[in-house]
Amino acid sequence: MRMNRRILLAFLLIAGLLSLLPVWAADEHLKQEVNAIFAGVTQPDEPGLAVLVLKNGHVVFERGYGGAELRTQTKIDSKTNFRLASVTKQFTALAIMLLVHDGKLRYNETLTDVFPDFPDYGKSITIRNLLNHTSGLLDYDELLMKQYGDTPMEQIPQIKDAGVLDLLKKQSGTSFPPGTKWEYSNSGYAVLAMVVEKVSGKSFGDFLHARIFLPAGMKHTVAYENGKNEVPHRAYGHTKSKLDGSFAQTDQSPTSAVLGDGGIYTSLEDMARWDDALREHKLLSELEIQPAFTPTRLNDGSQPYWPKETDGDPKASPRPADYGFGWFLDPYQGHKRNYHDGGTIGFRTTIQRFVDEHWTIVVLSNRNDLNPDELSLKVADIVLQRNP
């Protein structure tokens, strides 16, 4: 009988190990499939990208391709910090939501409530309008270019969030009545950064550090301010020449110092912690964070749409604009999705969260000729076919 028990135990152990083989094999096969998507898009001596795939918060795939800085040939890895560009907006939105949580701000407060010296047209622009891109604020980039005319870009001084607010204070109105249309607005998120500063009494970067980055465990994430802080393991942006295919470092532009709409630098490691903080509701309760993931509606309750010209074809039907606070919300092939893309001089980024299936895909690139959104959806096509 004793021998039979030993045989039985050995059999159960072997059976248990065999049961794990398909999972291990599937993981290795998945890694190979994901790697095949990215392996050919960059070379080791070129700027590149970093890729993260999470399932239920666990790292399924994490890899860097190419270089973070070509002069030193520093390789991209999970600690390399990229400028997020517009992926920053979800952090700016959460900063505002934390102030609402603190009881220091309300979504229906107006620009003139927060900034009494703002022109009268700010009386009809609410914090909610700024968060969901229905404010109608004029584009600060266009205003800046108009101000400097034919001045070469490299001679235009960098504008900051406070400068954006001052520029908007000089205007007499909006491009449409607030709440009547939807139009993506970098101006709105630069103003939100200044709202955070005014209401909290802290600099925007310090507020993010204290209330989001540290609690989420994002130890190496920064809202970069030249002369005030440094970006560890920094990736520098690059632009590919259309003439000979060479790369030039193009890391800064006149608008690169604006923080609220795109100034955060972070890595794959810290984006995994960000995803965990969202999934586990570490920063706000599930109820409090819901507005971020609720599609906006216009004043009359109707569905907003992208401006027609955004679609390229002026005859094309406008696309619905499913946007919450700092997140796009339109589904992908029937799968519920929270996502955002980012693009600025030398950088392209995306985060795609498939909330029902618990997959998250992050692609961060320091070159202008790649399309992280397109690449990430190729990954989604693979992982969404797998069992939850």
What is the average per-residue pLDDT within 125-133? 98
What is the average per-residue pLDDT within 161-171? 98
Q: Is 149 exposed, middle or buried (0-12, 13-18, 19+ CB in 10 A)?
A: exposed
* Residue 32 CA neighbour count, 13 Å, CB half: 6
SS (H, E, C) the chain: CHHHHHHHHHHHHHHHHHHHHHHHHHHHHHHHHHHHHHCCCCCCCCECEEEEEEECCEEEEEEEECEEECCCCEECCCCCEEECHHHHHHHHHHHHHHHHHCCCCCCCCEHHHHCCCCCHHHHHCEHHHHHHCCCCCCCHHHHHHHHHCCCCHHHCCCCCHHHHHHHHHCCCCCCCCCCCCCCCCHHHHHHHHHHHHHHHCCCHHHHHHHHHHHHHCCCCCEECCCCCCCCCCECCCEEECCCCCCEEECCCCCCCCCCCCCCEEECHHHHHHHHHHHHCCCCCCHHHHHHHHCCCCCCCCCCCECCHHHHCCCCCCCCECCECCCCECCCECCECCEEEEEEECCEEEEEEEECCCCEEEEEEECECCCCHHHHHHHHHHHHCCCCC
pLDDT at 7: 60
Please, which pLDDT band fits residue 154 given cuts at 50, 70 and 90?
Answer: confident
Residue 8 in this model has a pLDDT that exceeds 60: no
Q: How far is CA 131 from the centre of its chain?
A: 14
Q: Is 142 exposed, middle or buried (0-12, 13-18, 19+ CB in 10 A)?
A: exposed
Contacts with 274 (C-beta within 8 Å, 6 or more apart), sequence order:
216, 218, 266
- Provide the β-strand partners of residue 328: 323, 339
pLDDT at 387: 56
pLDDT in tens, 81-107: 999 999 999 999 999 999 999 999 999
| Domain contains 192 | yes
Please, which pLDDT band fits residue 61 given cuts at 50, 70 and 90?
Answer: very high
Q: Which residue has the higher pLDDT, 370 or 318?
A: 370
Residue 342 in this model has a pLDDT that exceeds 80: yes
The number of folded domains in the chain is 1
Round the average pLDDT of the chain to a whole number and report it.
92
Phi, psi of 208 (to 5 degrees): -60, -45
pLDDT at 182: 97
Is the pTM above the cut of 0.95? no
pLDDT in tens, 184-193: 999 999 999 9
pLDDT at 210: 98
| Domain contains 318 | yes
Residue 304 in this model has a pLDDT that exceeds 80: yes
Phi, psi of 318 (to 5 degrees): -60, 150
| Domain contains 23 | no
| Domain contains 24 | no
* Residue 137 CA neighbour count, 13 Å, CB half: 33
* Residue 31 CA neighbour count, 13 Å, CB half: 11
| Domain contains 38 | no
User: Could you tell me the CATH number of the domain that includes residue 80?
Assistant: 3.40.710.10
| Domain contains 15 | no
| Domain contains 269 | yes
CA distance 388 to 384: 8
Residue 3 in this model has a pLDDT that exceeds 60: no
What is the average per-residue pLDDT within 38-60? 96
| Domain contains 5 | no
* Beta pairing class for 359-365 and 347-354: antiparallel
pLDDT in tens, 210-263: 999 999 999 999 999 999 999 999 999 999 998 998 999 999 999 999 999 999
CA distance 51 to 34: 9
pLDDT at 27: 83
What is the number of other CB atoms lying within 10 angstroms of the CB of residue 254? 19
Domain carrying residue 210: 45-383
* Beta pairing class for 222-223 and 264-266: antiparallel
| Among the listed residues 114, 136, 117, 227, the one whose alpha carbon sits nearest the alpha carbon of residue 183 | 136
- Beta strands across the sheet bearing 58-65: 58-65, 49-55, 359-365, 347-354, 338-344
